[in-house]
Structure 1
C-alpha cells in the first residue's frame, strides 16, 4: 500500500464522518423539536411562577424559537466546538459527557473484551464439535440470549446475584452517601461486576454463532480435507487451518458491535442505576435537555464510527491483502 492510497482512504473516511455528523445533528434536532415534552414544564415540576418568569424561562430554553433558527445557531456553535450548556447539570455539555463517559468506558471496555474472547472461544468449541451436546448447548444459549432484551437479562441477574444471593450490591456506581472521590476501588469494582456480566452475556451470542458457522464452513473446505488426509486432526487442525481463517471476520464483527454495545449499555445502566453515559442520555431525553441529549447523540455517532474505522484498519494488521484496492484504487 502506498502513501497516496492511505491519504485517499482516510480522506474518504473523513468526508463520510463529516456528512454523518451533519445528518445526525439535523435529524436529531428535528426529532427533539417534534417532541411533546415542554422543557419549561419539566423544569418547573408543577411549581407556580408568574408569566414574566415563564417568559424568561421560555427564552432560556428556546421555546417558541423557529426550528431553522435553532438549528443554525446550534450548528454554528458546534463548528466552534461549543456543545452548549446542560439544562440539568448547569455545566458545559462536553464536561458532563466526559465525566459520565469515564464510568461507561470501563463498563463497555470490559464487556467488549469478555464478550469477544468468550464468544470466540465458545464458537470454536461448538464448531469443532458440530452436532455434539456442547454444540447444541451453545446454540440453545445463543438463540435464547439473542431473543431476550438486555434489560430483562439485567433484571434477572440483578434478582439472582444481588437480591436473592446477596453476593453483589444492587446498583449505583458507589455506595449511597459516599462520593465518587471517597469510594474505594473495591466499592467501585463490586458494582461493576453485574452490569459487565449482563453486557458480556448478551454480546457474546452473535460472536459465538458467527464463529461457529464460519469454522464449520472452513473445516468442510477442500484444503482442510487435504490436511486431514495428511494425518492432521483434532485441535492442531483447528489451530493451523481453522482459527487463522475465521479470526478476521470475528474481529471485524467484534468492532462492528460497538453500536449494539452502546445501545445495550443505555438499558443496562438504567437497570443497575449505573451513573454512565446511558443513564445520562435517558435523563436528558425525559427532561428535554436538548443540548445534552444532542451532545450524547453526536458522541454515540462518533463512537460507532470509530468502531467501524477500527474494523477497517484491523484488516491490514491481520491480513494486509484484504481490501488492498481500497487503499490503492
Structure 2
C-alpha cells in the first residue's frame, strides 16, 4: 500500500510540472498567434465598433496588459478554482467544459470499449492462425487502419452511411430544430453512432497487432509446448494458458491509448459537428478564446494523464516485476 501511495505522489508531482509547462507553452503560442481576440470577439459587428469600444473590450478582458501579467493573473485565478469566463460563450469555462465533456465522454467510452473488444479479438484470431490467410487479412487490415487519419475515416463513413445510404444523420449531437426535452435516447444514439464508429475503427489496429505479437510469443514458450504435449489445443489451450499472459499488456496499452483517443475525438467531432470538447477546442483556438483554450488544455492534459496513470497502476498492482523494479 505504501508503495502505491508513493507511486501516486510521484506521478502527481510530474502532473503539476507538466501542467505548468503546457500552460506556459500554450499561452506563449496564443500570444504570438496572428488571430486578434478582440476582432474575433466582436465578430460580424466589427465595422460598428469604434476604437474606444475596442479599448473597453480589451480592458474588460485584460487584453490591454502585457502577456506575462495576463498569465500570472490567470494562474492566480486557477489556483483559486476559477478558470475564467469564455469570450465566445460568455459563460464560465468550468460550465462549458462540464457540458461538453459529457458529450465527449459518451463518445470516447463507446469507442474505447468497442476498439478494445474488437482489437483484442482480432489479435487472438490472427495469432491462432499465424501465417494463414486469416492472419494476412487481419494484418493488412490493421496496417491500413494504422496509417488512416481519423478525419478521413470519418468523412468516408459520413459519405457512405449518411449521404448515400441515409441510415444516419449527417452531424450534430441532436436533431436540428428539436427542443431539448423532445430529444429521445434513440435520437442521441443515432447521432453518436458514426463518430463512435470512426474512433473505434481507428483504435483497433494497435490493440490487435500488439495482442497478436504477445500471443505468438506465448504460444512459442516452453510451458505451452508442454501443454500441447499433454494434448491441449485450440480454444482450451488459449483459455487456460494464453489469455492470462496477454490480457495485462493489452489492457495496459488500451489505457495508455487515451491520448490518441482524445486526439482522434477532436478530428471526429469536427467532421460530424459533434458538440464535444474537440469542437470547443478548435473553436477556441480559431477565435482566440484564451480562457477557454487554456481551460481545455488543462482538462485534456489531466484526462490523458489519468488514463496513463490507470495503466501504470494496473501494471504496478498486477505485475510483481513492477514492484521489484520500484524497490530497487
* TM-score, normalised by the number of residues in structure 1: 0.95
Give the distance between the partners of 2:19 and 2:179, measured in 1 at CA.
Answer: 35
Report the number of matched residues: 326
Tell me the CA shift for residue 222 of structure 1.
1.9
| Kept after mapping to 1: 8 A contact 2:112/2:200 | yes
Partner of residue 99, structure 2:
99
Question: What whole-Å deviation, never above 9, does each CA across 1:102-141 have from its counterpart, x for those lacking one?
Answer: 0110000000001001100000000110111111111111
Moved more, 46-55 or 33-42: 46-55
Give the distance between the partners of 1:275 and 1:184, measured in 2 at CA.
Answer: 17
Partner of residue 34, structure 1:
32
| Kept after mapping to 2: 8 A contact 1:103/1:275 | yes
Give the distance between the partners of 2:149 and 2:155, measured in 1 at CA.
Answer: 10
Give the distance between the partners of 2:247 and 2:309, measured in 1 at CA.
Answer: 18
Tell me the CA shift for residue 328 of structure 1.
4.8
| Kept after mapping to 1: 8 A contact 2:63/2:70 | no
Partner of residue 125, structure 2:
125
| Kept after mapping to 2: 8 A contact 1:6/1:328 | no
Partner of residue 325, structure 1:
324
Question: Can you give the 5+ residue segments of structure 2 that lack an aligned partner in the other structure?
Answer: none
Question: Can you give the 5+ residue segments of structure 1 that lack an aligned partner in the other structure?
Answer: none
Question: What whole-Å deviation, never above 9, does each CA across 1:278-300 have from its counterpart, x for those lacking one?
Answer: 11111111111010011001100
Give the distance between the partners of 1:7 and 1:162, measured in 2 at CA.
Answer: 49
Partner of residue 193, structure 1:
193
Question: What whole-Å deviation, never above 9, does each CA across 1:242-298 have from its counterpart, x for those lacking one?
Answer: 211111110010000000000000000011111111111111111110100110011
Tell me the CA shift for residue 49 of structure 1.
1.5
Give the distance between the partners of 1:115 and 1:53, measured in 2 at CA.
Answer: 51
1:127-206 matches, within 5 Å, as 127-206=127-206
Tell me the CA shift for residue 64 of structure 1.
4.1
| Kept after mapping to 2: 8 A contact 1:40/1:61 | no
1:24 corresponds, among 22, 25, 35, to 22
| Kept after mapping to 2: 8 A contact 1:150/1:267 | yes
Question: What whole-Å deviation, never above 9, does each CA across 1:147-179 have from its counterpart, x for those lacking one?
Answer: 111000000001101110111111111111113
Question: What whole-Å deviation, never above 9, does each CA across 1:8-34 have from its counterpart, x for those lacking one?
Answer: 222112211211111111111111111
Partner of residue 113, structure 2:
113
Moved more, 185-194 or 59-68: 59-68
Give the distance between the partners of 2:32 and 2:301, measured in 1 at CA.
Answer: 21
